[in-house]
């Protein structure tokens, strides 16, 4: 019972952390704490639903909603890997709690 819930929570946490670490990598630590995320092409501030790890990339086809600039695939790969690792770790914790 706990395995599915903890896997879901682990996936969400993994994707969120990967997304934030990508911002830190791109902007630096101080820059990551200031301002909202923007499109690299048109500099438009991204809305919340454009920032959901993996899901927003797939829903928008890897492009900006306004200017259709391509979003680098490395963002998708980094977040997908973290989602998978987080889900696996969460499932393992959930299975341990089920015992």
| Gap between the Cα atoms of 16 and 56, Å rounded | 12
Q: pLDDT at position 2, please? A: 85
Token pair 């200017």 is at which residue? 67
pLDDT confidence bin for 13, thresholds 50/70/90: very high
Phi, then psi, of 15 in degrees rounded to 5: -65, -40
| Gap between the Cα atoms of 2 and 98, Å rounded | 6
Instruction: Count Cβ atoms below 10 Å from residue 21 Cβ, excluding itself.
Output: 14
Question: What confidence tens digit (pLDDT) does each residue in 47-62 have?
Answer: 999 999 999 999 999 9
Q: Is the Cβ–Cβ distance between 12 and 82 less than 8 Å?
A: no
Mean pLDDT of all residues in the chain? 94
Query: Taking 80 as the threshold, does the pLDDT of residue 1 lie above it?
Result: no
């Amino acid at each position: 019972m706990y395995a599915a819930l903890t896997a879901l929570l682990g996936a969400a946490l993994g994707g969120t952390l990967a997304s934030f670490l990508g911002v830190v990598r791109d902007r630096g630590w101080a820059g990551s704490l200031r301002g909202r995320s923007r499109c690299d092409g048109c500099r438009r501030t991204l809305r919340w639903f454009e920032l959901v790890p993996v899901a927003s990339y797939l829903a928008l086809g890897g492009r900006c909603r306004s200017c259709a600039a391509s979003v680098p695939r490395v963002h998708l790969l980094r977040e997908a890997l973290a989602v998978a690792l987080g889900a696996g770790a969460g499932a393992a914790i959930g299975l341990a709690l089920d015992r």
